[in-house]
Structure 1
């Protein structure tokens, strides 16, 4: 099977626990590129992070962010595809979260918004250069149109169950809750996942799904793992992600992505 595109998740997959890309992982993508294979990112993070780590692995095609709701180019941030939460639903959700003192950030285009900035809420972003956001205070109502994703965040305590229950019950059909870590949860348009974004990117590039290799570890990677021709889960992946994958590689702290790429390329390009 000729591989033409490699797409990797970030946290728990390409990135180690220090939120860095290992030298071995970077080198593996370099070797893939020399064999004519393109690379991209598919993450629940915002476009800024997807583009930043995409550049680290030498990606030259657009990257997928916001769990599949956004695809933009790496260098010019050109919009390729976007899907939005209903404007009224976004406004109601933000009002509910802010009223209940739940910290949240949200994305409109390539811009990032939050009532205020706190590194405690973005501990995984210290390795992303030029990370910032627009602090809106209580003026959030001016920033509720064309929202691709809302993220609930807590730095210490788990997110209250009643908050999640309210979102699931009151906004059923209007949004989807993804990547629930207990301390963060992503709120996306209802018909969005990484497979949707990957299919759009593949069509845009003219690449068949059979010619795509993907890597992932979490619940928001499952649809993508099931979609691609070859899918690899890291050893630290959740059981459902491992079940959806073609095979398992090493964990994210031991160059799992590099080892997975090496295995696939060894089969595709035997010496």
Structure 2
């Protein structure tokens, strides 16, 4: 027998990649149904992702026509129904420029790119992890930073993020929030204090929802602040070790529709006997 699902949940906050989405990037029919059932039951469903707006929008249909989504690791709160930004928490251009210059000086071999509300720009030698859209800009970093920066992206080929994150944190000296959401070399920098957690907190205050009534799901270090802030946190079974250690509980993997399984349990009101379904307390 495992712990029952949390009672009194009013809001479900879920990461996308490695969490809600399957490894092939799709939402399973079971997950689509669980999200719709949660909304029908009166729960707020909020996607909280590191993805920029241009990628997050691909799954906005499933957050509901009047739903909200937090993108770019908390730098953007997007009103899906109105198709507009509700809150932007960006690095101003001068600050982004200083942060980038500090990183290049202190951490040799790094390449930089920027995400803004309007699109993506990257240095000539930056190797993107995904195919570029036609409106992506290539140019010198100093030329790319001509608007508020939602995320400053840093790549250092031949290593993984865990290997050099501390160097970048030291170089930025509190001028940016440093995190990562993939197993590769990519680091993601936001304005100071901007995380998934801090923007989710602002939203919950606006909605009048206490943190104890929020359940959240994640799998990578950029989810850590959110998982530590909410009332009940789930790491996916496929999560980064730091996430597994920090979360209250462990849900089945993203390919096993772990988020859907927990939502189904919440909606069923399982607060007593629970079958052994893989939802286990974290060892962290």
Q: Deviations over 1:235-271 (max 9, x none)?
A: 111233233333211101111111111122222699x
Q: Tell me, in whole angstroms, the C-alpha distance in 1 between the residues paired with 2:185 and 2:211.
A: 33
Which residue of the partner structure matches residue 170 of structure 2? 169
* Other structure's SS at 1:232 match: strand
- Does residue 119 of structure 2 align to residue 111 of structure 1? yes
CA shift, 1:13, in A, is 0.3
- Identify which range, 70-79 or 215-224, moves more after superposition: 70-79
Number of aligned pairs?
263
Hey, what's the Cα distance between the residues in 1 that align with 2:175 and 2:28? Answer: 39
Q: Distance in 1 between matches of 2:224 and 2:161?
A: 25
Q: CA deviation at 1:150?
A: 1.0
Deviation at 1:166, TM superposition (A): 5.3
Q: 1:76-95 maps to which residues of 2 (within 5 A)?
A: 76-94=82-100
TM-score normalised by L of structure 2: 0.79
1:101-150 deviations in Å (ceiling 9; x for gaps): 744331222433224699x7233x79xxxx66431423742534421211
When the two chains are superposed, the root-mean-square deviation of aligned CA atoms in Å is 3.2
Give the whole-Å Cα distance in 2 for the aligned partners of 1:183 and 1:260: 31
- Does the CA contact (< 8 Å) of 2:161 and 2:186 recur in 1? no
Shift of 1:6: 1.1
Superposed, which structure 2 residues align to 1:1-271 within 5 Å? 1-58=7-64, 60-94=66-100, 102-115=110-123, 121-123=128-130, 133-138=135-140, 140-141=142-143, 143-153=145-155, 157-158=158-159, 167-179=168-180, 181-267=183-269
1:49-92 CA distance string (max 9 Å, x none): 23322323436322111211221112444222222225333113
Corresponding residue SS for 2:80: coil
Asked if the contact 2:159/2:184 (under 8 Å) is kept, the reply is yes
1:167 & 1:144 partners in 2: Cα distance?
22
CA-CA distance at 1:45 after TM superposition? 1.4
- Rounded to whole Å, the distance in 2 between the matches of 1:144 and 1:262 is 46
Residues 229, 122 of structure 1: CA spacing in aligned structure 2 closer, same or farther, 3 A cutoff? same
User: 1:6, 1:161 → 2: CA distance?
Assistant: 29
Q: Secondary structure at the match of 2:45?
A: strand
Could you tell me which runs of 5 or more consecutive residues in structure 1 were left unpaired when the two chains were aligned: none
- Contact 1:232–1:260 (8 Å) recurs in 2: no
CA deviations 1:194-252 (Å, max 9, x no partner) are 11011011122222222222111111212211222222211111233233333211101
Decide whether aligned partners of structure 1 residues 150 and 33 sit closer, same or farther in structure 2, where only a CA change above 3 A counts.
same
